[in-house]
């Protein structure tokens, strides 16, 4: 009779609004416990300005909520923590933050704790639209290598370098105090492992390839002349910012004694290399070659993997990158997606419940009621149509200046009819993504859904 393996692992998922901690069995991957903690400062709207599309998160939100969530896993059975042998981390992205020479997030320094430019620049922050356009003009100018070649040919304001450039220009004080920039998915493992030297932070292949223009064909990150032509102030950062990013099946370090005590876990357990939530959502959904894993939350990401020898020289334009080992080792990982999904319906709910207290009973019942009523309407029955670009367009062909639209309205238009138009808009946005993959020779055989 086989002896049961009692070992456990903890998964940490840093979403847009909260962190989720989940305890899994090593034996069969079954979920044993779950704990979700919302970010307290983020919940109040602190450091954000939706009108200017500025969305920043305080690193204390991440650290405090993580601590509470992990401890929540073992509240009823504290002895179970001793069986944990590893921690895996995923986060939103691209969500970079500036760090000091000691590896600490700049926002943890009292001098910068209230400065939005010193905080984590969340994935949906679009303050760097102009900077993204500069990057595209430079890469397409013929003066340097086209570093957008493997990220769909268009660099987005949602990504790493555009955000760094924007903050560097917007806040000289933050730029002067910054020793390096790091994605949230790389910073959290570094914190857990007690890494204090920015140069020793392990970077993940996922974030590096899809958002930071890293690719093996040009030897890693863009060359020094890319930074110099973009803005010489970027040369104040270490060059290169990092080398040799690793896939998520590698180890970023071991849990430090400090964080072992804070979390109530054994010191020295493995901390995995971090990755983006959408990529790990696809892995969790059991993605196989040519599956299209649709990871749905505040936005969506569409993840597809394929063997390199079958991809060959195919380049899919207008997506969010195709990178070796970014999702599954030994495969090319493709990423696409929509800039708003859950946010579309959250906006509609806010619109219809304006003046009411958030979280009211009516507000919480509204979307389920609209869903039911809209499902009874025949397609196109009353003429309302919509475009879902409430947060710009991610793919195909990123353009964060685009706006949403609702048309075909008349005095007979109802809330369920408009809701249905928004649902159809999101669905046709998905179709446009699938059509782009298939038009470029990358088939999407199965649709795998994973809801965050």
Q: Please list, in sequence order, all residues whose beta carbon lies within 8 angstroms of the beta carbon of residue 92, skipping any fewer than 6 positions away.
A: 14, 15, 16, 122, 123, 184, 276, 277
User: What is the per-residue pLDDT for 1?
Assistant: 37
pLDDT tens by residue, 365-390: 999 999 999 999 998 889 999 999 99
Residue 99 neighbours by CB under 8 Å, 6+ apart: 105, 106, 178, 179, 180, 181, 182, 187, 198
pLDDT on residue 38: 98
Give the rounded distance of the alpha carbon of 213 from its chain centre.
16
Q: Can you give the pTM of this predicted structure?
A: 0.92
Three-state SS string over the chain comes to CCCCCCCEEEEEEECCCEEEEEEEECCCCCEEEEEEEECHHHHCCCCCEHHHCECEECHHHHHHHHHHHHHHHCCCCHHHHHHEEEEEEEECCCCEEEECCCCCEHHHCCCCCCCHHHCEECCCCCCCHHHHHHHHHHHCCCCCCCCCCCCCCCCCCCCHHHHHHHHHHHCHHHHHHCCEEEEHHHHHHHHHHCCCCHHHCCCEHHHHHHHCCCEHHHCECCCHHHHHHHCHHHHHCCCCCCCCCECCCCEEEECCHHHHHHHCCCCCCEEECCEEHHHHHHHHCCCCCCEEEEEECCCEEEEEEECHHHHCCCCCCCCCCEEECCCCCCCEEEEEEECCCHHHHHHHHHHHCCCCCCCCHHHHHHHHHHHHHHHCCCCCCCCCEEECCECEECCCCCECCCCCEEECCCCCCCHHHHHHHHHHHHHHHHHHHHHHHHHCCCCCCEEEEEEC
Give the model's pLDDT for residue 4: 60
Say what the pLDDT of residue 246 is. Answer: 97
Topology of domain 286-452 in CATH is Nucleotidyltransferase; domain 5 (3.30.420)
Fold of 8-277: Nucleotidyltransferase; domain 5 (3.30.420)
pLDDT tens digits along 51-97: 999 999 999 999 999 999 999 999 988 989 999 999 999 999 999 99
Regions of the chain short of the pLDDT cut 50? 1-3
Asked whether the domain spanning 286-452 has the same topology as the one spanning 8-277, the reply is yes
pLDDT of the residue at 3:
47
Domain range list for the chain? 8-277, 286-452
* 255 vs 44: CA distance, rounded Å: 32
């Amino acid at each position: 009779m086989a002896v049961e393996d009692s070992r456990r692992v903890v998964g940490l998922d840093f979403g847009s609004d909260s962190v989720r901690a989940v305890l899994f069995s090593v034996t069969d991957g079954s979920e044993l416990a779950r704990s979700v903690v919302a970010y307290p400062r983020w919940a109040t709207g602190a450091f954000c300005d939706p009108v200017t599309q500025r969305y920043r998160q305080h690193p204390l939100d991440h650290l405090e909520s993580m601590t509470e969530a992990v401890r929540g896993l073992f509240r009823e059975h504290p002895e179970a923590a001793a069986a944990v042998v590893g921690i895996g981390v995923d986060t939103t992205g691209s969500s970079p933050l500036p760090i000091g020479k000691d590896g600490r997030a700049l926002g943890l320094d009292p001098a910068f704790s209230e400065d939005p430019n010193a905080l984590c620049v969340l994935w949906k922050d679009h303050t760097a639209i102009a900077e993204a356009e500069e990057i595209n003009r430079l890469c397409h100018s013929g003066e340097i290598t086209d570093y957008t070649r493997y990220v769909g040919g268009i660099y987005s304001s949602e990504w790493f370098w555009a955000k760094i450039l924007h903050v560097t220009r917007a806040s000289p004080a933050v730029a002067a105090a910054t020793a390096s920039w790091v994605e949230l998915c790389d910073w959290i493992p570094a914190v857990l492992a007690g890494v204090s030297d920015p140069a020793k932070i392990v970077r993940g292949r996922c974030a590096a390839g899809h958002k930071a223009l890293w690719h093996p064909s040009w030897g890693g990150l863009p060359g020094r002349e890319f930074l110099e032509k973009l803005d010489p102030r970027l040369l104040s950062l270490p060059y290169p910012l990092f080398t040799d990013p690793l896939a998520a099946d590698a180890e970023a370090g071991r849990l430090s004694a400090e964080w072992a005590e804070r979390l109530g876990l054994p010191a020295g357990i493995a901390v995995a290399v971090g990755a983006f939530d959408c990529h790990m959502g696809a892995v969790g959904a059991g993605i196989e070659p040519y599956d299209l894993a649709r990871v749905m939350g505040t936005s969506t990401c569409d993840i597809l993997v394929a063997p390199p020898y079958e991809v060959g020289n195919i380049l899919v334009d207008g997506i969010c990158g195709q990178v070796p080992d970014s999702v599954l080792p030994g495969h090319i990982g493709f990423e696409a997606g929509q800039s708003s999904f859950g946010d579309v319906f959250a906006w509609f709910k806010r619109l219809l419940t304006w003046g009411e207290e958030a979280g009211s009973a009516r507000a919480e019942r509204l979307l389920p009621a609209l869903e039911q009523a809209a499902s009874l309407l025949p397609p196109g029955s009353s003429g309302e149509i919509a475009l879902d670009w409430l947060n710009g367009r991610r793919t195909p062909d990123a353009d964060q200046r685009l706006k949403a639209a609702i048309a075909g309205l008349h005095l007979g238009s109802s809330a369920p009819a408009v809701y249905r138009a928004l649902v159809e808009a999101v669905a046709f946005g998905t179709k446009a993504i699938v059509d782009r993959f298939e038009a470029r020779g990358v088939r999407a055989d199965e649709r795998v859904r994973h809801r965050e």
